[in-house]
Structure 1
């Protein structure tokens, strides 16, 4: 679905469990948003957590990635994998540590 007015554009979709086309769905949502907001300077894509196909689809063709990570072992691992993937796309990255005070030692990593 695409919602648009003179000030904003919002594109969303739902994936049925087991359909297995999440990356293609993200690509379609991005395509709708791009066509509706072709003259806008900024578009924000809220990607899914993890490092699967929809995340990779979210990363393709963007100027910058803001990675929101938690200071857990799995959070750090996912963050490192997303950074490596973003580097493959030659995309700038920034990191925001969510719940930073739950593990200060890991946050500092």
Structure 2
């Protein structure tokens, strides 16, 4: 019985370890920005940065297609915005959102 249990556990561990080796993490990290250059096409940029983006704006201005995508940074109040003009990287920036601090307590009411 012990050898059967050992065999089953070994099989499960082997299966889990082989699955873990095939997973590739392509999530956004700020250091990936170092691989970008202005003028790169949209597909190249998104391949480098990963699939976890959100399209925040898309419009046509003076016959140019403008699209802005953002990636959430490690810290929840940081976003990285990337603007494409006619599918070419036009600019990027880091945005820090302000946090609203709410204070509660009876000593605040006067």
Length-normalised TM-score, structure 2: 0.24
User: Considering only CA atoms, is the larger Rg found in Structure 1 or Structure 2?
Assistant: 2
Structure showing the higher helix proportion among its residues: 1
